[in-house]
Amino acid sequence: MKSTLAILLLSAWPLAAEAQTLVAPFDTSYSVVNLGSVPGLPLNYGGLVVKIDDPSKLIIGGAANGANGALYTVGLVRDAEGHITGFNGEATFFAAAQYNDGGVAYGPGNVLFLARWPVNELGQLRPGSVATDRVDLLAPFGVESSHSSLNFVPVGFPGAGRMKLCTYIGGQWNDVSIAPDGLGTYSITNVTQVAIPRLQGGPEGFTYPPVNSPQFGAPSMLLSEYAAGKVVAYELDGNGDPLVETRREFISGLTGAEGANIDPVTGDFLFSTFGGFSQVVLVRGFTRPCPADFNGDGNLDPDDLSDYISCFFAQPPCPRADFSNDGITDPDDLADYIGAFFGGCP
Ligand SMILES: [Ca+2]
Ligand SMILES: [Ca+2]
Ligand SMILES: [Ca+2]
């Protein structure tokens, strides 16, 4: 009996450990940090996004896919370089968000847009709202049941500003046009099913890693594949849509990959997992969106300049004093940093 129990425990161990693996060649440039479960957040986890006006907080879906679904906020612990290292305190209720799923993303006017699964609806929350303000049925626009995620193509990418939306079972990819409805939210004016082969693996949250990140030679997106237990990368065409023939595995060995977004402070990739091991996972190694924001607090101010100068003149200089990343710390780095500081953030 004892040996049978031991075998059962051993065979269960890899699942409990959630053995996520960075796939080559990404393993040479990136590292995975499992932040664990969010204290007090009801299972299952939905999508997630760093709060746009307060990068010390994460917004994340709880009780995802159900009628009691809601968005919660939880404090983020960041290290001296701004990287998220853990959670501060318990999750607290942020807003009612029934049926929330893998897509939670800011759109124009800092409105939060929400994928609602399995009801195939799009939700919207105005800044400051504690409930979903507007809900649109998507079937009338030709969106197959059911919509699982959405995002907006960021500045600097082909198709910047466009809204994209995908479905879970069929992997249908759509381009969405919206217009202000006069109430602080947006009407859907058109949805176009993009004529590409379907996305595989049960697509969920997707996001756009900073351009010029290592191993990403072209503007790309990262997509959580729930059914496949993977995160994959696709290069983008001129409209910001994925080129299916460029699919590369980024992470494998996941259980229920769900939400996906980029930390605007550090460029780190954040994703959630749905199910018994509901967790938040972070991947480091992407290009920082604003390298001049040296202390990674989301603001560019004289503290950053003084922090860089302290780093540069420390004996020995701290590693990030090599601002040009050429392996040598010299006065060119100081000049480059000062140039970046006065150049501002993108
Ligand atoms: Ca989902
Ligand atoms: Ca700063
Ligand atoms: Ca250098």
Judged against a pLDDT cut of 50, whether residue 298 lies above it is answered with yes
pLDDT of residue 18: 59
| Residue at 15 is within a domain | no
Please report, for the domain that includes residue 133, its CATH number. Answer: 2.120.10
Ligand 3 centre distance from Cα of residue 323 (Å): 5
> For the CA atoms of the chain, what is the radius of gyration?
21
Same-domain check for residues 229 and 336: no
Are 271 and 280 within 8 A, CB to CB?
yes
Q: Mapping DSSP to helix (H, G, I), strand (E, B) and coil, where does residue 320 land?
A: helix
Output the average pLDDT for the chain.
Answer: 93
Where is pLDDT greater, at 26 or 275? 26
Report the percentage of the chain scoring pLDDT > 90. 83
> Residue 61 CA: which ligand is closest?
1
Q: Mapping DSSP to helix (H, G, I), strand (E, B) and coil, where does residue 221 land?
A: strand
Judged against a pLDDT cut of 50, whether residue 203 lies above it is answered with yes
CA distance 274 to 38: 12
pLDDT of residue 116: 98
Q: Could you give phi then psi for residue 16, rounded to 5 degrees?
A: -65, -35
Judged against a pLDDT cut of 90, whether residue 129 lies above it is answered with yes
> Residue 299 CA: which ligand is closest?
2
> Residue 297 CA: which ligand is closest?
2
Same-domain check for residues 171 and 308: no
Judged against a pLDDT cut of 60, whether residue 283 lies above it is answered with yes
Judged against a pLDDT cut of 90, whether residue 221 lies above it is answered with yes
Ligand 1 centre distance from Cα of residue 120 (Å): 12
pLDDT class for 87, splitting at 50, 70, 90? Answer: very high
Same-domain check for residues 317 and 276: no
| Residue at 47 is within a domain | yes
Q: Which amino acid is at 289?
A: P
Where is pLDDT greater, at 67 or 54? 67
> Residue 334 CA: which ligand is closest?
3
pLDDT of residue 326: 87
Ligand 2 centre distance from Cα of residue 8 (Å): 50
pLDDT class for 325, splitting at 50, 70, 90? Answer: confident
| Residue at 13 is within a domain | no
> 């990403």: which residue's tokens?
216
Same-domain check for residues 255 and 330: no
Structural domain including 148 reads 20-284
Q: Are strands 269-273 and 84-96 parallel, antiparallel or unpaired?
A: unpaired
pLDDT of residue 12: 41
Run of H or E residues at 225: strand 220-225
For the segment 61-86, the average pLDDT, to the nearest whole number, is 95
Same-domain check for residues 247 and 335: no
Ligand 2 centre distance from Cα of residue 338 (Å): 14
| Residue at 5 is within a domain | no
Which residues are close to ligand 3, an ion, with C-beta < 5 A? 322, 324, 326, 328, 333
Tens digit of each residue's pLDDT (9 = 90 or more) over 132-163: 999 999 999 999 999 999 999 998 899 999 99
CA distance 251 to 230: 5
In angstroms, what CA-CA distances link 1 with 8, 9, 14, 201? Answer: 11, 12, 22, 39
Helix, strand, coil percent content, the chain, rounded in steps of 5: 15, 35, 45
For the segment 272-282, the average pLDDT, to the nearest whole number, is 91
Q: Token pair of 84, please?
A: 């998220």
Query: Among 12-16, 74-78, 215-219, 329-333, whose mean pLDDT is lowest?
Result: 12-16
Residues 6+ apart with CB under 8 A from 197: 244
Q: Token pair of 85, please?
A: 């290292």
pLDDT class for 6, splitting at 50, 70, 90? Answer: very low
| Residue at 294 is within a domain | no
For the segment 103-109, the average pLDDT, to the nearest whole number, is 96
Same-domain check for residues 86 and 205: yes
> Residue 335 CA: which ligand is closest?
3
pLDDT of residue 200: 96
Ligand 2 centre distance from Cα of residue 299 (Å): 4
Ligand 3 centre distance from Cα of residue 292 (Å): 15
Please state the length of the chain.
346
| Residue at 119 is within a domain | yes
**Structural domains of the chain, count:** 2
| Residue at 3 is within a domain | no
CA distance 170 to 164: 15
CA distance 209 to 176: 21
CA distance 73 to 61: 9
CA distance 312 to 320: 8
Q: Could you give phi then psi for residue 238, rounded to 5 degrees?
A: -65, -10
Q: Token pair of 31, please?
A: 């590292």
DSSP letter at 246 equals G
Query: Among 228-242, 285-299, 321-335, whose mean pLDDT is lowest?
Result: 285-299
Ligand 2 centre distance from Cα of residue 290 (Å): 9
For the segment 298-307, the average pLDDT, to the nearest whole number, is 92
Q: Token pair of 224, please?
A: 């959580």
Same-domain check for residues 334 and 241: no
pLDDT of residue 15: 42
Judged against a pLDDT cut of 90, whether residue 8 lies above it is answered with no
Q: Which amino acid is at 273?
A: T
| Residue at 6 is within a domain | no
Ligand 1 centre distance from Cα of residue 293 (Å): 34
pLDDT of residue 100: 98
Which residues are close to ligand 2, an ion, with C-beta < 5 A? 293, 295, 297, 299, 304
Ligand 2 centre distance from Cα of residue 307 (Å): 9
Where is pLDDT greater, at 41 or 293? 41
Judged against a pLDDT cut of 70, whether residue 102 lies above it is answered with yes
> 């990739």: which residue's tokens?
269
